[in-house]
């Protein structure tokens, strides 16, 4: 069974159409990329799939559940790192992980996660005092603290330095090796090419291209995913 099944999904914000009939399927254990220009609807799509927004129409199932009607059950089984996440200024790294772990019936071992993401040295740092990259790492660790079957990562490596990006790629691959399905929203075509098994390119709330990076490159007659993206959407990446 597919992990995520979406067909003809629609969402309008006060007359502004964010999703205009999105159809896609994500298979178990894959890293599925969602790419597309600013305002394409990527975050809205991820928010609908993680039960945070209610779509206006279409069909949506994640792990066989309706993210809106069966939200509580779904939240036990997914993790999300969202684009505009925030925490209270004064909360410490270790406290945030412990607190999030307490929200799940079967959490992961939060101390190991803190080690794995290199956060142990900063466990007593206040959220407000972390740099952007360290905040990002904390959010990723928080997305994993429920030991999820599916993880949504929105702009995962935005704001990370090149070293931290590479480290993060390794950790994403390790997630897949553990059998976690990963949905990754990204603006970086090198990242999509390196990590994703399949990619959907979204523009104006619709999927305009979908496939394995190699297939999209071949389809566009391009030499890289970045050039393929340009050919397929007629748009630059910004």
With tokens 């975050």, the residue in question is: 43
Give the residue with the Cβ less far from ligand ATP, 41 or 148: 41
**What is the closest distance, in whole angstroms, from the C-beta atom of residue 208 to ligand ATP in the complex?**
13
With tokens 């990527």, the residue in question is: 42
**What is the closest distance, in whole angstroms, from the C-beta atom of residue 234 to ligand ATP in the complex?**
17
Q: Of these, 15, 38, 89, 162, which contacts ligand ATP (CB under 6 A)?
A: 38
What three-state secondary structure class fits 110? helix
Is residue 33 a contact point for ligand ATP (CB under 6 A)?
no
Q: Which stretch binds ligand ATP (CB under 6 A): 13-21, 174-182, 218-226, 228-236?
A: 13-21
Q: Which of 168-173's residues contact partners 24+ apart within 8 Å by CB, and which partners?
A: 168/137, 168/140, 169/194, 169/195, 171/116, 171/117, 171/140, 172/31, 173/31
Are 157 and 168 a contacting pair, CB within 8 Å?
yes
Site string for ligand ATP, 77-96 (x = CB under 6 A): ------x-------------
Is residue 81 a contact point for Mg ion (CB under 5 A)?
no
Q: Which two three-digit tokens encode residue 113?
A: 């996660």
Q: Of these, 4, 9, 33, 42, which contacts ligand ATP (CB under 6 A)?
A: 42
Is residue 43 a contact point for Mg ion (CB under 5 A)?
yes
Q: Of these, 41, 55, 148, 213, which contacts ligand ATP (CB under 6 A)?
A: 41
Q: What does the binding site for Mg ion look like in residue numbers (CB under 5 A)?
A: 42-43, 83
Q: What does the binding site for ligand ATP look like in residue numbers (CB under 6 A)?
A: 13, 16, 18, 36, 38-44, 83
């Amino acid at each position: 069974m597919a992990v995520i099944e979406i067909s003809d999904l629609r969402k309008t914000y006060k007359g502004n159409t964010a999703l205009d009939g999105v159809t896609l399927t994500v298979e178990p254990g894959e890293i599925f990329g969602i790419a597309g220009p600013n305002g394409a609807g990527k975050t809205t799509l991820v928010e609908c799939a993680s039960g945070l927004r209610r779509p206006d129409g279409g069909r949506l199932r994640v792990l066989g559940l309706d993210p809106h009607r069966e939200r509580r059950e779904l939240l036990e089984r997914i993790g999300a790192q969202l684009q505009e996440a925030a925490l209270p200024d004064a909360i410490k790294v270790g406290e945030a992980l412990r607190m999030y772990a307490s929200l799940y019936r079967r959490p992961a071992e939060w101390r190991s996660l803190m080690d794995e993401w290199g956060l142990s040295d900063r466990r007593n740092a206040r959220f407000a005092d972390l740099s952007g990259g360290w905040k990002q790492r904390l959010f990723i660790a928080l997305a994993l603290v429920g030991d999820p079957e599916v993880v949504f990562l929105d702009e995962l490596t935005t704001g990370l330095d090149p070293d931290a990006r590479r480290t993060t790629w390794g950790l994403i691959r390790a997630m897949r090796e553990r059998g976690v399905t990963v949905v990754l929203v990204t603006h970086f075509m090198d990242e999509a090419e390196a990590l994703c098994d399949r990619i959907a390119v979204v523009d104006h709330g619709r999927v305009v291209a979908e496939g394995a990076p190699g297939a999209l490159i071949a389809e566009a007659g391009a030499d890289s995913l970045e050039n393929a993206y340009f050919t397929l959407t007629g748009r630059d990446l910004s």
